Structure 1
Amino acid sequence: MTVELPSLPVREILPALAEALETSPSAVLSAPPGAGKTTLVPLFLLDQPWLNGGKIILLEPRRLAARAAAGRMAELLGEKVGETVGYRMRLDNRVSAKTRIEVVTEGVFTRMILDDPELAGVSAVLFDEFHERSLDADFGLALALDVQSALRDDLKIIVMSATLDVERVAGLLGDAPVLQSEGRSYPVDVRYESRNSDERVEDAVVRTIIEAHRSDAGSILAFLPGQAEITRTAERLAGRFDQNTMIVPLYGNLSQKDQDAAIRPAPKGTRKIVLATSIAETSITIDGVRIIVDSGLQRLA
């Protein structure tokens, strides 16, 4: 299957990746956010001879990122999700007999490999956003390496990350070749806003968003600790802007329709204010955002 891949930075190293996988069972790919690794690498691998009709499993740390990646790849192929590209996560599957790229969450992959230790019909496993590091990701990689060494020496394993100690991971994969995409850099103007000790984080973020919206152009992405803070910030922003500015939340418990609305670029002539948790830091890319407002807080278990 041949598809015209978008001209994103990671495209330049795809020939080197193909060459590396001809002689090595594993590879490490480092590319900054927005370079295109999540969507371009799996589509590129579809045409590799060693795939031999097998499936590609792409692991994503978050459900939102998994759905977004599957949707974007299906769009590039001119198909619907569930045809060549599908996803599988807890309580939500979109796969069919035609599916050759499955985007799965890390916990689902652990269950897949425990149920089928040979990973029959799977030719490659890609660990995306590995720098986020989780027990499920580490355990999944350990199991995949075990399968590769004991049962499936033809199984390809690729670890992809935006920020990672690539040499250490390459050593873990038996001194696997390392490929690095430089991505694209743009000048960034950093401004610090003060917050009084008795001021709620939502109030400080609202004040900063209003000032940024007034003084600069483009959509705004604001990071808040969790769903409750996002809801309160949205309530405080309601009615502050005209109809050409949309205010949309983005967190894991939203419906797929609402998540898609947050990720989709703002229509021409309009602006968008996305109120998000840390899910939007590296797992997904939101087009059109020129301003980032970071509360500096994150809620972790």
Structure 2
Amino acid sequence: MLRAFDTPLPIDAVLDELSRRLADQNAAVLVAPPGAGKTTRVPLALLDAPWLGTKKIIMLEPRRIAARASAERMARTLGERAGDTVGYRVRFGSKISRATRIEVVTEGIFTRQIMDDPELTGIAAVLFDEFHERSLDADLGLALARDAQQGLREDLRILVMSATIDGARVARLLGDAPVIESLGRAFPVETRYLGRKPDAPLERQMAEAIASALRENPGSVLAFLPGAAEIRRTQTFLAERIHDASIEIVPLFGALDAAVQDRAIQPAPKGMRKVVLATSIAETSLTIEGVRIVVDCGMARGPRYEPDIGLTRLETVRASRAAVDQRRGRAGRTEPGVCYRLWDEPQTASLPAYTQPEILSADLSSLLLDLAQWGVADPGALAFLDPPPAPALKEARSLLGELGALDADGRITDEGKSLRALALPPRLARMIVDSHRLGAGDAAAAIAAILTERGLGGDSVDLGARLEQFRRDRTPRATSARQMAQRWASQVASSPSPLRGGWPAEGR
């Protein structure tokens, strides 16, 4: 018998079927639109399942803010605090106790967990939330979990949850697992196309659209922009146009401190309206109370690996149809809403159907090193929804060979195990190891922190200036990043040899 909840959610209609399926089978796929309640209701509904016993549920989220917010919301549903029955584990903080039975973790953290304990001791189920985002860590995590399930833990339940994926395709990957669909509940959303002037800055046009939307409609606004720079410029333009003290303008992107992010997703105080300027971080997982207006620029920023320079940079591209549909739906979660789009209606049909999976365009050196640690030389031996491209794999093998991480047969070396233990891209891990030999391990670790945590030290092209600003920054995020960098340097320095394994892992 599933537990009852005070507040009904659309997902409730399929919880009984989901429970029955997971009682009989070890895998399932749940397709539910944003706002159905799958993130915060499904883990709680499974807490009393007989097959769970005294073991835990692990739920993966693509972003730290989503992991924290969903854990906090589930804890409130139980009348508890995060860290009691429901906790979370992210890179710069965790709230976990002996009483925790649901752990919400970021996808990179899970990869470290299963690599360190392939049997997933004490874990009964792994839930992959928002799988449609198709990050590299999510694809790898699912492949490893499926391999562990088939070879070590037939009783391990795997549930893939998503809003927009082809459920049948994922189901085949999981051995023809059942697909459960929730229709969700959405209020009508009126769509208004504003077009876009090619000769005017995007941020200025977004500010004008937001100001106009506020004049024409009640409620709070969620505006989608590609990245932090565009958000800051739009915020400046808005400040010139909006002088109403009852309207609060807040940014929301991944590089902000947790307290600032929390402020953005909290309901506006009574009598106030809120304008949240967000990246794609707000497309799914997060519910921002009071939003009934969406303003969408139609652009997104995604990672693209450049093999010539060996670095991954962010590229601004047109958002997919699936993404803009999800953005539009944010306006109709609690009441009828309106969505303003900064393009012409016919252009919608030309948008790519889905966001490209990261595995098709990413640097695969970390993935290949993880697979070698897992004991797999050929990624084709595992269940990937989209196989890693052969040219990218060839390049990754060559790089790992040059770094001394793989031998000629593709097996991980002791050096490779040591580099992997730092939980950094192999090039950066090698940089710290080699810099330590030259007496510069601390500086190399600080540089690695800046390169892996976007926004730390500002955005100057002068690395020295960014390092200096990073060292002076006293925000909680910067403080945590410095502590992390110190751990990396200490791990290398305290090892009997800089190229020996056994260092403790730091979650990605």
TM-score normalised to structure 1 length: 0.97
More displaced 10-residue stretch of structure 1: 5-14 or 99-108 = 5-14
Shift of residue 278, structure 1, vs aligned partner: 0.6
The one-letter amino acid paired with 1:233 is T
The answer for the alignment partner of 1:112 in structure 2 is 113
The answer for the alignment partner of 1:190 in structure 2 is 191
Separation in structure 2 between the aligned mates of residue 164 and residue 197 of structure 1, nearest angstrom: 33
The aligned runs of 1:117-266 (5 Å cut-off) are 117-238=118-239, 240-266=242-268
The 8 Å contact of residues 59 and 105 in structure 2, kept in 1 or not, is answered as yes
Separation in structure 1 between the aligned mates of residue 196 and residue 282 of structure 2, nearest angstrom: 23
The 8 Å contact of residues 87 and 93 in structure 1, kept in 2 or not, is answered as yes
The answer for the alignment partner of 1:295 in structure 2 is 297
RMSD of the alignment, in Å? 1.3
Separation in structure 2 between the aligned mates of residue 238 and residue 78 of structure 1, nearest angstrom: 39
The answer for the alignment partner of 2:25 in structure 1 is 24
Unaligned runs of 5+ in 2: 304-508
The 8 Å contact of residues 3 and 77 in structure 1, kept in 2 or not, is answered as no
Shift of residue 2, structure 1, vs aligned partner: 4.9
Separation in structure 2 between the aligned mates of residue 296 and residue 129 of structure 1, nearest angstrom: 20
Q: 1:267 to 1:3 in 2, by over 3 A?
A: farther
Q: Name the SS of the counterpart of 1:299 in structure 2.
A: strand
The one-letter amino acid paired with 1:126 is L
Separation in structure 2 between the aligned mates of residue 3 and residue 265 of structure 1, nearest angstrom: 26
The aligned runs of 1:57-72 (5 Å cut-off) are 57-72=58-73
The answer for the alignment partner of 1:286 in structure 2 is 288
The one-letter amino acid paired with 1:244 is S
The one-letter amino acid paired with 2:82 is V
Shift of residue 91, structure 1, vs aligned partner: 2.6
Unaligned runs of 5+ in 1: none
Separation in structure 1 between the aligned mates of residue 158 and residue 169 of structure 2, nearest angstrom: 15
The answer for the alignment partner of 2:269 in structure 1 is 267
Structure number with greater Rg is: 2
Shift of residue 3, structure 1, vs aligned partner: 5.9
The 8 Å contact of residues 89 and 104 in structure 1, kept in 2 or not, is answered as yes
The 8 Å contact of residues 83 and 99 in structure 1, kept in 2 or not, is answered as yes
Shift of residue 196, structure 1, vs aligned partner: 2.1
- Give the number of the structure with larger relative contact order, counting CA–CA contacts within 8 Å between residues 6 or more apart: 1
The answer for the alignment partner of 1:88 in structure 2 is 89
More displaced 10-residue stretch of structure 1: 2-11 or 265-274 = 2-11
Shift of residue 92, structure 1, vs aligned partner: 1.5
The one-letter amino acid paired with 1:49 is P
Q: Does 1:7 align with 2:8?
A: yes
More displaced 10-residue stretch of structure 1: 207-216 or 194-203 = 194-203
The 8 Å contact of residues 39 and 285 in structure 2, kept in 1 or not, is answered as no
Separation in structure 2 between the aligned mates of residue 299 and residue 17 of structure 1, nearest angstrom: 35
The 8 Å contact of residues 248 and 273 in structure 2, kept in 1 or not, is answered as yes
The one-letter amino acid paired with 2:246 is N
The one-letter amino acid paired with 1:151 is L
The one-letter amino acid paired with 1:23 is D
Separation in structure 2 between the aligned mates of residue 225 and residue 149 of structure 1, nearest angstrom: 40
The one-letter amino acid paired with 1:176 is A
Shift of residue 287, structure 1, vs aligned partner: 1.9
More displaced 10-residue stretch of structure 1: 58-67 or 191-200 = 191-200
The one-letter amino acid paired with 2:300 is Q
Separation in structure 2 between the aligned mates of residue 198 and residue 23 of structure 1, nearest angstrom: 59
Shift of residue 238, structure 1, vs aligned partner: 2.0
Shift of residue 197, structure 1, vs aligned partner: 1.6
Which runs of 4 or more aligned residues in structure 1 lie more than 6 Å from their structure 2 counterparts after TM superposition? none
Shift of residue 5, structure 1, vs aligned partner: 5.0
The one-letter amino acid paired with 1:87 is Y
Q: 1:225 to 1:187 in 2, by over 3 A?
A: same
The one-letter amino acid paired with 2:292 is R
1:116-141 Cα shifts (integer Å, max 9, x gaps): 01000000000000011111111100
The one-letter amino acid paired with 2:272 is T
The 8 Å contact of residues 3 and 76 in structure 1, kept in 2 or not, is answered as no
Shift of residue 198, structure 1, vs aligned partner: 2.0
The one-letter amino acid paired with 1:12 is A
Q: Name the SS of the counterpart of 1:214 in structure 2.
A: helix
Q: Name the SS of the counterpart of 1:40 in structure 2.
A: helix
Q: Name the SS of the counterpart of 1:49 in structure 2.
A: coil
TM-score normalised to structure 2 length: 0.58
Q: Report sequence identity in percent.
A: 60
How many residue pairs match? The answer is 301
Separation in structure 1 between the aligned mates of residue 54 and residue 76 of structure 2, nearest angstrom: 22
The one-letter amino acid paired with 2:103 is E
The 8 Å contact of residues 220 and 274 in structure 1, kept in 2 or not, is answered as yes
The answer for the alignment partner of 1:276 in structure 2 is 278
1:134-174 Cα shifts (integer Å, max 9, x gaps): 11111100100111111111111000000110011111111
Separation in structure 2 between the aligned mates of residue 175 and residue 194 of structure 1, nearest angstrom: 44
